[in-house]
Structure 1
Amino acid sequence: MIKLRDKAPVRTCTKVYSNYRSYKHYLRSDFNNRCGYCDDYDGWTGGEVTYHIDHFAPKSKFSSLENDYSNLVYACSFCNRFKSDDWPSDSQKISVVNNVGFIDPCHSSYENLFFRDNYGNIKPTNELAQYMYKKLQLFLSRHRIVWNLTRIKLQLDNIRPLLKEHGHDNEKYKRIQDMYVTLSLEFHDYLDYLLGEKIKNG
């Protein structure tokens, strides 16, 4: 069983703005460049420009929270759109009723809601997680694809500096180079596979 995310988001911004959109840069950093709900890395889709700001407790129902940083979530367009204004109660403090609703992605209990299988698919762990899983459509293949691409990219990013660091040691350099080439081939093979699937499915 693989954790949904390697690092949980933590809201650290203490600035106060009158327009929630001004917080986007801080949200991106606090949420580790990932969607708070599905953990998709924003780098594959244009980064901060294409990601949204979700109001955890919907601003349409709780207007006083519109510019409250503690209520904002850095979210991919998919999760933000699917969640929309869904909320199970008339209180901004009650986000779950009878296993229907949402857990704030910055709350520690979010870590227990989901895991990934060996292929990178997101899986729910309980009834509340199942509700969120369906509502946010976390079953979409895009989440597996983004996770796998990100996993390989991070490994390549970690290995590349080692080539320079161990350039004087022929044996170490060769081993690191072999790892880098193997991962690069895996990365491109996966991209070719995805392109082929896209063409095949129109």
Structure 2
Amino acid sequence: MNWKLIVKDKANQPEKGTYTDWKEQIAKECFFQCIYCSINEAQFGGIDHYHIEHYKPKSIERFKALENDICNLFYSCPICNRFKSNDWPNDADDLDIICYPDPSEYNYSELFDVSSDDYKVNGKYVSTRYMTERLYLNRPQLLYERRETVLQQRAENVTKAIEALQEVIDTQELLKESNKGVIELLKTTQKRNNIRPYKLAEIRK
């Protein structure tokens, strides 16, 4: 899983508009991926298919004032967003109670283990075990995504090894050309997975 700590700062609160106007900013803050399952927006067709996540649900009366608070706004895939909905069992002040750890305070990579055998995530704490079940973080699509990530890393390692080998075998031109084609293919595949399909402004012209 490719979770990252989400840095939130009140100083980045937009001066105009409401949360629906700030989707590009929120997407960038969250590295263009779901804060819960870490799947990139590209896998869902881009920003238009991702949701702004009110970490503390705006439908709960005591959190209504946070509806347009940039520090309460995150980015999630439609599946995790739907599973979480307005669920809020406890405030996130203890990892060993049922709650949703604040992604701006915790790096989720440190709260979960990922099996190298079946690519399933296992929460290290009561809170993250609850999240795993509630958000269905071991759904089949995510297992394939994690496996693909591991394979991509291996492909990168192979690419580096081939490049190093090319520097040594500089007299075998045919092998060089063959390896060059393989490297170019691997690099193109790796880059494709990091390309955003489009920006929100581009499809709303």
Same fold? TM cut 0.5: yes
C-alpha distance in structure 2 between counterparts of 1:159 and 1:31, whole Å? 30
How far 1:176 sits from its partner (Å)? 5.4
Aligned-partner residue type, residue 132 of structure 1:
M
Aligned residues: 178
1:1-202 matches, cutoff 5 A: 4-5=1-2, 7-11=4-8, 13-61=12-60, 62-89=63-90, 99-108=97-106, 110-118=108-116, 119-150=118-149, 171=170, 177=180, 180=183
Provide structure 2 residue ranges, at least 5 long, that are not aligned to the other structure.
Answer: 191-205
Per-residue CA distance 1:145-174 (angstroms, 9 max, x = gap): 2233455567779999xx9xxx99974955
Q: 1:49 to 1:100 in 2, by over 3 A?
A: same
SS of equivalent residue, structure 1 residue 82: helix
Q: Partner residue of 1:196? A: none
Per-residue CA distance 1:27-68 (angstroms, 9 max, x = gap): 111111110011111111111111111111100012111111
Larger radius of gyration: 2
How far 1:26 sits from its partner (Å)? 1.0
Q: 1:96 to 1:137 in 2, by over 3 A?
A: farther
Aligned-partner residue type, residue 131 of structure 1:
Y
TM-score scaled by length of structure 2: 0.68
Per-residue CA distance 1:106-158 (angstroms, 9 max, x = gap): 22253332122224332211222111111111111111222334555677799
Q: Is the contact between residue 44 and residue 146 of structure 1 (CA under 8 Å) also seen in structure 2?
A: no
Identity %: 26
C-alpha distance in structure 2 between counterparts of 1:38 and 1:72, whole Å? 16
Aligned-partner residue type, residue 115 of structure 1:
D
Q: Is the contact between residue 58 and residue 67 of structure 2 (CA under 8 Å) also seen in structure 1?
A: yes
Q: Is the contact between residue 3 and residue 108 of structure 2 (CA under 8 Å) also seen in structure 1?
A: no
Q: Greater shift after overlay, 75-84 or 16-25?
A: 16-25
Provide structure 1 residue ranges, at least 5 long, that are not aligned to the other structure.
Answer: 188-202
- Say which structure, 1 or 2, has more relative contact order (CA 8 Å, 6+ apart): 2
TM-score scaled by length of structure 1: 0.69
Aligned-partner residue type, residue 29 of structure 1:
K
SS of equivalent residue, structure 2 residue 37: coil
Q: Is the contact between residue 96 and residue 102 of structure 1 (CA under 8 Å) also seen in structure 2?
A: no
Aligned-partner residue type, residue 69 of structure 1:
I
* RMSD between aligned residues: 3.9
